[in-house]
Amino acid sequence: MSDENLTPEAPVTGQGRMDVAWGANTGDEHPDEVQRASTPQSGEIFEQLYTPWTGQLNPRWMRNWSILRHHLLGIFKKGHRPWTMPTRIFILIAFLASLSDAGMTLLSGLVGSSEFHSLFGVSRDNLYGHVLGFFPRNVLYYPIVAALLVGGVISEDRQHGTSALYFSRPISRFDYVGMKFLSVAMIQALVVLITYVLYFLAEVVAFGRGWAWMVDIFPMFLAGMIAGLLLIFTYTSIGLSLSSVSTGRFFPGIGLLAIVFGTKTLASIVKNLFEREILYLISPYDCVAHVGQALIGTQTTYDQYSWTYSLVALVAMNALALYVLASRVASMEVTRE
Protein backbone atom coordinates (compact mmCIF):
# COMPACT_ATOMS: atom_id res chain seq x y z
CA MET A 1 0.00 0.00 0.00
CA SER A 2 1.24 3.58 -0.65
CA ASP A 3 2.17 5.84 2.25
CA GLU A 4 -0.62 8.31 1.51
CA ASN A 5 -3.24 5.65 2.22
CA LEU A 6 -1.63 4.75 5.57
CA THR A 7 -1.96 8.19 7.21
CA PRO A 8 -4.46 8.44 10.06
CA GLU A 9 -6.10 11.47 8.44
CA ALA A 10 -7.18 9.50 5.35
CA PRO A 11 -10.94 8.97 5.31
CA VAL A 12 -12.32 5.43 5.33
CA THR A 13 -14.19 5.09 2.07
CA GLY A 14 -14.35 1.33 1.61
CA GLN A 15 -11.95 1.65 -1.32
CA GLY A 16 -8.27 0.93 -1.47
CA ARG A 17 -5.43 1.29 -3.99
CA MET A 18 -3.16 -1.68 -4.55
CA ASP A 19 0.48 -1.08 -5.48
CA VAL A 20 3.03 -3.68 -6.47
CA ALA A 21 6.52 -3.88 -4.99
CA TRP A 22 8.16 -4.85 -8.26
CA GLY A 23 7.55 -4.61 -11.93
CA ALA A 24 8.87 -6.30 -15.03
CA ASN A 25 12.46 -5.50 -14.06
CA THR A 26 14.41 -7.08 -11.25
CA GLY A 27 14.07 -3.94 -9.11
CA ASP A 28 17.80 -3.63 -8.43
CA GLU A 29 18.16 -0.63 -10.75
CA HIS A 30 15.86 1.65 -8.70
CA PRO A 31 15.30 0.10 -5.28
CA ASP A 32 13.66 3.23 -3.85
CA GLU A 33 10.96 3.47 -6.49
CA VAL A 34 7.74 1.58 -6.42
CA GLN A 35 6.35 0.72 -9.81
CA ARG A 36 2.60 1.01 -9.92
CA ALA A 37 0.47 -1.65 -11.53
CA SER A 38 -1.05 -0.90 -14.89
CA THR A 39 -4.29 -2.58 -13.89
CA PRO A 40 -7.11 -0.61 -12.19
CA GLN A 41 -5.76 0.64 -8.88
CA SER A 42 -8.91 0.67 -6.78
CA GLY A 43 -11.38 -1.97 -5.66
CA GLU A 44 -14.72 -1.98 -3.89
CA ILE A 45 -15.56 -3.94 -0.74
CA PHE A 46 -19.20 -4.96 -0.91
CA GLU A 47 -21.34 -5.65 2.10
CA GLN A 48 -23.49 -8.80 1.81
CA LEU A 49 -26.86 -8.70 3.48
CA TYR A 50 -28.80 -11.97 3.94
CA THR A 51 -32.53 -11.61 3.97
CA PRO A 52 -34.34 -14.47 5.72
CA TRP A 53 -36.93 -16.33 3.67
CA THR A 54 -40.42 -15.66 4.99
CA GLY A 55 -42.35 -18.01 2.73
CA GLN A 56 -44.41 -21.01 3.79
CA LEU A 57 -42.65 -24.36 4.19
CA ASN A 58 -43.98 -27.50 2.62
CA PRO A 59 -45.72 -29.83 5.07
CA ARG A 60 -43.77 -32.59 6.76
CA TRP A 61 -45.25 -35.37 4.64
CA MET A 62 -44.16 -33.63 1.45
CA ARG A 63 -40.56 -33.30 2.67
CA ASN A 64 -40.55 -36.98 3.61
CA TRP A 65 -42.12 -37.91 0.30
CA SER A 66 -39.33 -36.12 -1.56
CA ILE A 67 -36.75 -38.36 0.17
CA LEU A 68 -38.79 -41.50 -0.46
CA ARG A 69 -39.42 -40.61 -4.10
CA HIS A 70 -35.75 -39.80 -4.64
CA HIS A 71 -34.80 -43.39 -3.76
CA LEU A 72 -37.76 -45.33 -5.15
CA LEU A 73 -38.06 -43.71 -8.57
CA GLY A 74 -34.32 -44.01 -9.09
CA ILE A 75 -34.84 -47.71 -9.70
CA PHE A 76 -37.13 -47.03 -12.66
CA LYS A 77 -36.05 -43.75 -14.25
CA LYS A 78 -33.38 -41.06 -14.28
CA GLY A 79 -33.47 -37.79 -12.41
CA HIS A 80 -33.50 -39.39 -8.96
CA ARG A 81 -31.03 -41.48 -6.99
CA PRO A 82 -28.51 -42.87 -9.51
CA TRP A 83 -28.76 -46.59 -8.77
CA THR A 84 -26.16 -48.48 -10.74
CA MET A 85 -27.18 -50.53 -13.74
CA PRO A 86 -25.96 -53.85 -12.20
CA THR A 87 -28.23 -53.18 -9.22
CA ARG A 88 -31.24 -52.58 -11.46
CA ILE A 89 -30.51 -55.64 -13.57
CA PHE A 90 -30.10 -57.94 -10.57
CA ILE A 91 -33.33 -56.67 -8.97
CA LEU A 92 -35.16 -57.42 -12.23
CA ILE A 93 -33.59 -60.88 -12.42
CA ALA A 94 -34.49 -61.61 -8.79
CA PHE A 95 -38.06 -60.43 -9.38
CA LEU A 96 -38.55 -62.66 -12.41
CA ALA A 97 -36.85 -65.62 -10.72
CA SER A 98 -39.09 -65.23 -7.66
CA LEU A 99 -42.09 -65.66 -9.96
CA SER A 100 -41.00 -69.20 -10.82
CA ASP A 101 -43.48 -70.73 -8.34
CA ALA A 102 -46.30 -68.70 -9.84
CA GLY A 103 -45.34 -69.88 -13.31
CA MET A 104 -45.21 -73.50 -12.17
CA THR A 105 -48.61 -73.13 -10.52
CA LEU A 106 -50.11 -71.84 -13.77
CA LEU A 107 -48.47 -74.72 -15.61
CA SER A 108 -49.87 -77.25 -13.14
CA GLY A 109 -53.34 -75.82 -13.73
CA LEU A 110 -52.93 -76.24 -17.48
CA VAL A 111 -51.57 -79.78 -17.16
CA GLY A 112 -54.11 -80.80 -14.53
CA SER A 113 -51.69 -82.96 -12.55
CA SER A 114 -52.26 -83.18 -8.78
CA GLU A 115 -48.70 -84.40 -8.20
CA PHE A 116 -47.31 -81.41 -10.04
CA HIS A 117 -49.57 -79.10 -8.05
CA SER A 118 -48.41 -80.59 -4.75
CA LEU A 119 -44.86 -79.57 -5.64
CA PHE A 120 -45.58 -75.94 -6.53
CA GLY A 121 -49.17 -75.10 -5.55
CA VAL A 122 -50.24 -73.13 -2.50
CA SER A 123 -49.65 -75.11 0.70
CA ARG A 124 -48.00 -74.46 4.05
CA ASP A 125 -44.69 -76.00 3.02
CA ASN A 126 -44.64 -74.19 -0.32
CA LEU A 127 -45.49 -70.86 1.30
CA TYR A 128 -42.55 -71.24 3.62
CA GLY A 129 -40.31 -72.21 0.70
CA HIS A 130 -41.51 -69.27 -1.38
CA VAL A 131 -40.74 -66.64 1.26
CA LEU A 132 -38.07 -68.14 3.53
CA GLY A 133 -36.60 -71.02 1.55
CA PHE A 134 -32.82 -70.98 1.87
CA PHE A 135 -32.24 -72.19 -1.68
CA PRO A 136 -32.45 -70.40 -3.96
CA ARG A 137 -34.17 -67.37 -2.45
CA ASN A 138 -32.04 -66.69 0.60
CA VAL A 139 -28.85 -67.77 -1.13
CA LEU A 140 -29.16 -66.10 -4.51
CA TYR A 141 -31.93 -63.48 -4.32
CA TYR A 142 -32.96 -61.72 -1.14
CA PRO A 143 -29.66 -61.11 0.74
CA ILE A 144 -27.88 -59.98 -2.42
CA VAL A 145 -30.71 -57.58 -3.28
CA ALA A 146 -30.55 -56.15 0.25
CA ALA A 147 -26.75 -55.86 0.06
CA LEU A 148 -26.92 -53.97 -3.23
CA LEU A 149 -29.52 -51.59 -1.85
CA VAL A 150 -27.96 -50.71 1.51
CA GLY A 151 -24.45 -50.26 0.11
CA GLY A 152 -24.47 -46.47 -0.21
CA VAL A 153 -27.80 -45.29 1.19
CA ILE A 154 -26.28 -43.61 4.25
CA SER A 155 -22.54 -44.13 3.77
CA GLU A 156 -22.48 -42.01 0.61
CA ASP A 157 -24.19 -39.16 2.49
CA ARG A 158 -21.26 -39.24 4.89
CA GLN A 159 -18.69 -39.52 2.13
CA HIS A 160 -20.00 -36.77 -0.15
CA GLY A 161 -21.53 -34.47 2.45
CA THR A 162 -25.09 -34.96 1.21
CA SER A 163 -26.24 -34.83 4.83
CA ALA A 164 -25.71 -31.07 4.64
CA LEU A 165 -28.48 -30.89 2.04
CA TYR A 166 -30.83 -32.90 4.22
CA PHE A 167 -30.24 -31.36 7.62
CA SER A 168 -30.00 -27.77 6.38
CA ARG A 169 -33.68 -28.16 5.57
CA PRO A 170 -36.37 -28.64 8.22
CA ILE A 171 -35.89 -32.43 8.16
CA SER A 172 -35.45 -34.27 11.44
CA ARG A 173 -33.05 -37.14 11.78
CA PHE A 174 -35.94 -39.45 12.59
CA ASP A 175 -37.60 -38.60 9.27
CA TYR A 176 -34.27 -39.00 7.49
CA VAL A 177 -33.71 -42.50 8.89
CA GLY A 178 -37.37 -43.46 8.50
CA MET A 179 -37.52 -42.56 4.82
CA LYS A 180 -34.20 -44.24 4.08
CA PHE A 181 -35.37 -47.37 5.90
CA LEU A 182 -38.75 -47.35 4.17
CA SER A 183 -37.17 -46.83 0.74
CA VAL A 184 -34.90 -49.87 1.05
CA ALA A 185 -37.69 -51.99 2.56
CA MET A 186 -40.17 -51.09 -0.19
CA ILE A 187 -37.74 -51.99 -2.96
CA GLN A 188 -37.15 -55.35 -1.27
CA ALA A 189 -40.92 -55.77 -0.93
CA LEU A 190 -41.20 -55.59 -4.72
CA VAL A 191 -39.13 -58.75 -4.91
CA VAL A 192 -40.39 -60.58 -1.81
CA LEU A 193 -44.01 -59.58 -1.16
CA ILE A 194 -45.28 -58.62 -4.61
CA THR A 195 -44.17 -61.96 -6.01
CA TYR A 196 -45.78 -63.60 -2.96
CA VAL A 197 -49.15 -61.99 -3.79
CA LEU A 198 -48.80 -62.91 -7.47
CA TYR A 199 -48.16 -66.49 -6.37
CA PHE A 200 -51.57 -66.59 -4.69
CA LEU A 201 -53.23 -64.91 -7.67
CA ALA A 202 -51.73 -67.57 -9.94
CA GLU A 203 -53.38 -70.25 -7.79
CA VAL A 204 -56.74 -68.48 -8.01
CA VAL A 205 -56.51 -68.04 -11.78
CA ALA A 206 -55.16 -71.51 -12.56
CA PHE A 207 -57.72 -73.44 -10.50
CA GLY A 208 -60.64 -71.03 -10.35
CA ARG A 209 -60.62 -70.74 -6.56
CA GLY A 210 -63.68 -69.09 -5.08
CA TRP A 211 -64.29 -66.83 -2.10
CA ALA A 212 -64.67 -69.78 0.27
CA TRP A 213 -61.14 -70.96 -0.55
CA MET A 214 -59.77 -67.45 -0.16
CA VAL A 215 -61.37 -67.05 3.26
CA ASP A 216 -60.00 -70.42 4.40
CA ILE A 217 -56.51 -69.72 3.13
CA PHE A 218 -56.33 -66.10 4.34
CA PRO A 219 -54.78 -66.85 7.80
CA MET A 220 -52.04 -68.86 6.10
CA PHE A 221 -51.56 -66.08 3.55
CA LEU A 222 -51.32 -63.49 6.33
CA ALA A 223 -48.77 -65.60 8.24
CA GLY A 224 -46.55 -65.83 5.17
CA MET A 225 -46.87 -62.08 4.65
CA ILE A 226 -45.74 -61.42 8.23
CA ALA A 227 -42.80 -63.79 7.78
CA GLY A 228 -41.77 -61.88 4.65
CA LEU A 229 -42.02 -58.58 6.52
CA LEU A 230 -39.79 -59.96 9.28
CA LEU A 231 -37.21 -60.97 6.70
CA ILE A 232 -37.26 -57.55 5.02
CA PHE A 233 -37.13 -55.66 8.31
CA THR A 234 -34.19 -57.71 9.61
CA TYR A 235 -32.10 -57.43 6.47
CA THR A 236 -32.83 -53.70 6.19
CA SER A 237 -32.00 -52.86 9.81
CA ILE A 238 -28.72 -54.78 9.75
CA GLY A 239 -27.75 -53.40 6.36
CA LEU A 240 -28.47 -49.76 7.22
CA SER A 241 -26.61 -50.05 10.53
CA LEU A 242 -23.55 -51.21 8.58
CA SER A 243 -24.05 -48.40 6.07
CA SER A 244 -24.21 -45.83 8.87
CA VAL A 245 -20.75 -46.78 10.20
CA SER A 246 -19.11 -46.74 6.77
CA THR A 247 -18.16 -44.12 4.19
CA GLY A 248 -18.25 -46.38 1.14
CA ARG A 249 -20.50 -48.76 -0.75
CA PHE A 250 -18.39 -51.89 -0.46
CA PHE A 251 -18.28 -52.55 3.29
CA PRO A 252 -22.06 -52.44 4.05
CA GLY A 253 -22.99 -54.84 1.26
CA ILE A 254 -20.20 -57.31 1.92
CA GLY A 255 -20.78 -57.01 5.66
CA LEU A 256 -24.45 -57.91 5.33
CA LEU A 257 -23.67 -60.95 3.18
CA ALA A 258 -20.93 -62.02 5.60
CA ILE A 259 -23.31 -61.81 8.57
CA VAL A 260 -26.13 -63.72 6.86
CA PHE A 261 -24.03 -66.42 5.21
CA GLY A 262 -21.26 -66.57 7.80
CA THR A 263 -23.52 -67.15 10.80
CA LYS A 264 -25.61 -69.63 8.83
CA THR A 265 -22.52 -71.60 7.77
CA LEU A 266 -21.00 -71.56 11.25
CA ALA A 267 -24.22 -72.76 12.86
CA SER A 268 -24.56 -75.54 10.29
CA ILE A 269 -20.98 -76.73 10.89
CA VAL A 270 -21.52 -76.87 14.66
CA LYS A 271 -24.82 -78.69 14.11
CA ASN A 272 -23.20 -81.34 11.93
CA LEU A 273 -20.14 -81.83 14.13
CA PHE A 274 -21.57 -81.60 17.64
CA GLU A 275 -25.33 -81.97 17.04
CA ARG A 276 -25.99 -78.68 18.80
CA GLU A 277 -28.30 -76.07 17.31
CA ILE A 278 -27.68 -73.30 19.81
CA LEU A 279 -25.56 -71.25 17.36
CA TYR A 280 -28.58 -70.88 15.11
CA LEU A 281 -29.63 -68.15 17.54
CA ILE A 282 -26.86 -65.89 16.19
CA SER A 283 -27.96 -66.40 12.57
CA PRO A 284 -30.46 -63.76 11.34
CA TYR A 285 -31.77 -66.04 8.62
CA ASP A 286 -32.32 -69.04 10.92
CA CYS A 287 -34.09 -66.94 13.53
CA VAL A 288 -36.42 -65.54 10.89
CA ALA A 289 -36.93 -69.01 9.41
CA HIS A 290 -37.76 -70.55 12.79
CA VAL A 291 -40.27 -67.83 13.64
CA GLY A 292 -41.70 -68.06 10.12
CA GLN A 293 -42.19 -71.80 10.45
CA ALA A 294 -44.13 -71.24 13.67
CA LEU A 295 -46.27 -68.53 12.06
CA ILE A 296 -47.12 -70.47 8.92
CA GLY A 297 -47.62 -73.72 10.83
CA THR A 298 -45.31 -75.90 8.77
CA GLN A 299 -43.04 -78.59 10.19
CA THR A 300 -40.11 -77.03 12.02
CA THR A 301 -36.50 -77.88 11.22
CA TYR A 302 -35.20 -76.68 14.59
CA ASP A 303 -35.94 -79.34 17.19
CA GLN A 304 -33.69 -78.56 20.15
CA TYR A 305 -35.27 -75.30 21.28
CA SER A 306 -38.54 -73.38 21.03
CA TRP A 307 -39.28 -70.77 18.41
CA THR A 308 -39.68 -68.19 21.18
CA TYR A 309 -35.89 -68.26 21.67
CA SER A 310 -35.48 -67.36 18.03
CA LEU A 311 -38.02 -64.56 18.43
CA VAL A 312 -36.09 -63.11 21.39
CA ALA A 313 -32.81 -63.37 19.46
CA LEU A 314 -34.42 -61.71 16.45
CA VAL A 315 -35.69 -58.82 18.56
CA ALA A 316 -32.23 -58.41 20.11
CA MET A 317 -30.54 -58.34 16.68
CA ASN A 318 -32.88 -55.70 15.32
CA ALA A 319 -32.69 -53.62 18.51
CA LEU A 320 -28.88 -53.61 18.38
CA ALA A 321 -28.85 -52.75 14.68
CA LEU A 322 -31.37 -49.91 15.12
CA TYR A 323 -29.41 -48.55 18.10
CA VAL A 324 -26.21 -48.39 16.04
CA LEU A 325 -28.13 -46.78 13.17
CA ALA A 326 -29.76 -44.17 15.41
CA SER A 327 -26.55 -43.29 17.25
CA ARG A 328 -24.53 -42.91 14.07
CA VAL A 329 -27.13 -40.77 12.32
CA ALA A 330 -27.42 -38.61 15.46
CA SER A 331 -23.69 -37.88 15.17
CA MET A 332 -23.91 -36.77 11.54
CA GLU A 333 -23.21 -33.07 11.08
CA VAL A 334 -24.30 -30.72 8.34
CA THR A 335 -20.80 -30.72 6.93
CA ARG A 336 -18.81 -33.22 4.94
CA GLU A 337 -17.34 -35.80 7.32
Per DSSP, the residues of 119-188 read HHSS-HHHHHHHHH-TTTIIIIIHHHHHHHHHSSTTHHHHHHTTHHHHHTSS--HHHHHHHHHHHHHHHH
16 inside domain: yes
Instruction: Answer yes or no: is pLDDT of 45 > 90.
Output: no
Question: Do residue 97 and residue 199 come from a single domain?
Answer: yes
In angstroms, the CA 147 to CA 77 distance is 21
Question: Do residue 152 and residue 103 come from a single domain?
Answer: yes
17 inside domain: yes
According to the model, what pLDDT value does residue 43 have?
59
* More reliable by pLDDT, 13 or 102: 102
| Domain count along the chain | 2
**Short-list 302, 312, 283, 39, CA closest to 138:** 283
- pLDDT-derived band at 325 (thresholds 50, 70, 90) equals very high
Domain that holds residue 28: 1-49
Give the pLDDT mean for 39-49.
63
CA dist list (Å): 291 to 10, 301, 331: 85, 11, 34
Instruction: Answer yes or no: is pLDDT of 268 > 90.
Output: yes
Question: Do residue 223 and residue 251 come from a single domain?
Answer: yes
According to the model, what pLDDT value does residue 77 have?
86
Instruction: Answer yes or no: is pLDDT of 283 > 80.
Output: yes
Span of 6-15, 183-192, 261-270, 324-333 with lowest mean pLDDT: 6-15
CA dist list (Å): 267 to 143, 199, 314: 18, 31, 15
Q: What is the pLDDT of residues 203-244, one digit of tens each?
A: 999 999 999 999 999 999 999 999 999 999 999 999 999 999
128 inside domain: yes
Q: What is the pLDDT of residues 173-206, one digit of tens each?
A: 999 999 999 999 999 999 999 999 999 999 999 9
Model pTM score: 0.82
123 inside domain: yes
Instruction: Answer yes or no: is pLDDT of 13 > 60.
Output: no
Q: What is the pLDDT of residues 57-98, one digit of tens each?
A: 889 999 999 999 999 999 988 888 889 999 999 999 999 999
Question: Do residue 31 and residue 70 come from a single domain?
Answer: no
Question: Do residue 267 and residue 181 come from a single domain?
Answer: yes
Question: Do residue 26 and residue 137 come from a single domain?
Answer: no
Question: Do residue 220 and residue 251 come from a single domain?
Answer: yes
Phi, psi dihedrals of residue 44, rounded to the nearest 5°:
-110, 135
Q: Mean pLDDT highest for which of 155-159, 192-196, 333-337?
A: 192-196
